[in-house]
Structure 1
Amino acid sequence: MSRHIIRYTQDGSPQWGVLFGHRIAPLAVDASSTGDLLSHHWELLWSIGETQASLALSSVQLLSPVTQQQQFICQGVNYRSHIAESGLRIENFPFNTIFTKASSSITAADAPVARPAHVHLLDYEIELGLVLRRPIPAGTVVSASDLSQWLAGVTIVNDLSARDVQLPQGQFYKGKSYRGFGPVGPTLVLLTAQEWARWPELRMRLAVNGQTRQDAYCAEMIHGPAATLSELAALQDLNPGDLIATGTPAGCAARAPGKLTMFVLRHLVSEVGKWQMFIRKGSNNPAYLRPGDRISASIRTDDGAIDLGEQTTAITTP
């Protein structure tokens, strides 16, 4: 059965615990990062029991279970439905699109997020986050059957994105890396080998002000965890605690214009003019996030056997 790991503060210093319902079993460990916790206390995370849950969840302030010392790696255009709503063609993306997001953007699942004053097209993206259990040696080929060997668990990620920076400037890193643009958690859910086989059954839901915007199963993912880990292992070092956000399905605020508009933009409007029109039209799109909006995001199997909890994010002014 899965284990729910949380990071929290009660007296100003971050601590780790195992969550059982609404009570916490505190962990007396010295681990300054998620990688430290997973590398040095793996057996303890699984052996601690519910009888040791002595602390009420309501008495603490949650922090992100992934610390800012970890790498924050992202997959783009990894869901067919999101490719379609972006006005792109799936045959033009036979490759796995990889980019990074600043780890300083990581924040707690219930922390308010300030929309920068110059950002007007703030978008949401619910994503399944994979957290590394151990280093993956260069050249390792990961199979679907041995995910538990390399991955510790899963968590909820909201890849908040300033579309009026990301798209006109062509800068994914810059448009997605403002402080607070990476709510993670509330828990890191450690999975057994049998539970890892169920990742396609995880259902992602995101709502804004109670209105459902995204609702899809992870089975829609184009490049799954095993293929992505194998490709990354051939490319770079991966360390315990590192976070991989695996892409988002349809339902984002940013949408492709209609075919006629696309024709006009391609043939009759300059590149600068095109993005000026994009920003002007987007400013009238109520789906983009504004101060006062509240986001709720959850990921779980339909039978509730694997439940990553719920994020509740309020958008505020700087």
Structure 2
Amino acid sequence: MAVKVVRYSHAGEPHWGVVHDRRIAPLLCDGASTADFVTNGLEAAWRSTPGEATLALDGVTLLPPVTPDRQFLCQGINYASHVRESGMDPDKIGFNTLFTKAPSCLAAADADVLRPGHVHLLDYEIELGLVVRKPLTGALRVGPEQLHEFLAGVTIVNDISARDVQLPQAQFYKGKSYRSFGPVGPFLVLLNAEEWARWPELRMRLHVNGQPRQDTYCGDMIFKPHQTLTELSALHDLQPGDLIATGTPAGCAARAPGKLATWVFRHVLSERTKWQLFIKKGRSNPAYLQPGDIMTASIRTDDGAIELGEQRNRVVSA
């Protein structure tokens, strides 16, 4: 049975605990780093019982279950539905797009998202987050049935993106790394081998002000978790607690222009003029986030057996 782990602040100190219904069973492991919990606290979390739950979940301050000393790795254009809405063919995506976000952008599942004053095209991206279980310090081949060996659990990620920085400047890191642009949690959900096999059944939903924007199953992923772990292990080291955000489905505010507009952009307009028009048109798009908007994001299987909780984040002016 999946275990919901929470990182929280109580009496001014960070702690780890297991959630049973709406109460927390504290764990006696160091609360400083996700690496510490994954290395030293997993077995205790699996053994936790409801009788040990002594704290009300509503009486603590949520913290992101991934700490800023960990890597924040991301996949782009990794959902067929999102590829289509971006004006591309999923069958022609020949490589896994990988990038990073600054770990300092990590935020709690109920934290405000700060929109910088120069950003007008603020977008959302619900994603399934994978948390690494053990060091990967050399190239290896991970099979789909081995996820439980290399991953500790899953969590919700909202990859907030300043499109008027990311796209005109071709800077994913810069457009996605402002402080508060990475709400994560509320839980790190530990899965056993059988539950890991159900990751394609996880359904991602995101609403803005109660309006549905994204609603897709994780099975729409192009490059699967085992493939991404295999590729990353050949590229650089991964350590316990590192976070991999696996891409977002269709429904973002950003949309690809039509075929005629795309042709004009490529063959007639200068780069400067093209992006000026892109930003001008985007500012009239009501789907982009505005101060005061409330995002809610959830991931669960339809039968509720695996449930990652819900994020609720308000957009405010920085």
| TM-score category (smaller protein) | over 0.9
Counterpart of 1:148?
148
Shift of residue 45, structure 1, vs aligned partner: 1.2
2:76 paired residue number: 76
Give me the whole-angstrom Cα distance separating, in 1, the residues matched to 2:125 and 2:42: 30
Once residues 295 and 40 of structure 1 are traced to their aligned partners in structure 2, the CA distance between those partners, rounded to angstroms, is 34
Instruction: Give TM-score scaled by structure 1 length.
Output: 0.99
Question: In the aligned structure 1, how far is the partner of 2:164 from the partner of 2:215?
Answer: 25
Distance 2:75 2:92 in 1: 16
For residues 176-195 of structure 1, the aligned pairs below 5 Å read: 176-195=176-195
Q: Distance in 1 between matches of 2:180 and 2:21?
A: 27
Quick one: which amino acid aligns to residue 215 of structure 1? D
Alpha-carbon distance in 2 for matches of 1:282, 1:313: 22
In 2: Cα distance, 1:31 partner to 1:266 partner: 51
Q: Take 2:2 and 2:265, find their aligned partners in 1: how far apart are those partners? A: 50
Q: Which residue of structure 2 aligns with residue 8 of structure 1?
A: 8
**C-alpha offsets along residues 147-205 of structure 1, whole Å, 9 cap, x if unaligned?**
10000000000000000000000000000000000000000000011000000000000
Cα distance in structure 2, aligned partners of 1:266 and 1:253:
22
With 83-92 and 50-59 compared, the bigger mean Cα shift is at: 83-92
Rounded to whole Å, the distance in 2 between the matches of 1:31 and 1:64 is 12
Deviation of 1:49 after TM superposition, in Å, equals 1.1
Match of residue 126 from structure 1: 126
Task: Figure out how many residues of one structure are paired with residues of the other and give that number.
Answer: 318
Ranges in structure 1 where 5+ consecutive residues have no aligned partner: none
Unaligned runs of 5+ in 2: none
Identity among equivalent positions (%) equals: 63
The 2-side partners of 1:204 and 1:89 are apart by: 22
C-alpha distance in 1 between matches for 2:154 and 2:266: 41
Aligned AA (1:155) = T
| Cα contact 2:203–2:299 (8 A) shared by 1 | yes
Match status 1:309 vs 2:309: yes
Alignment of 1:27-42 (within 5 A): 27-42=27-42
**Secondary structure of the equivalent of 1:104?**
helix
Question: Partner of 2:260: helix, strand, or coil?
Answer: helix
- TM-score, scaled to structure 2: 0.99
Distance 2:158 2:217 in 1: 16
* Structure 1 vs Structure 2 CA RMSD: 0.8
1:263 alignment partner in structure 2: 263
Give, as a single letter, the amino acid of the residue that structure 2 aligns with 1:258: G
1:23 aligns with 2:23: yes
- How far did residue 261 of structure 1 move? 1.3
Task: Return the offset for 1:31.
Answer: 3.7
Aligned partner letter, 2:99: F
Aligned with 1:169: secondary structure? Answer: coil
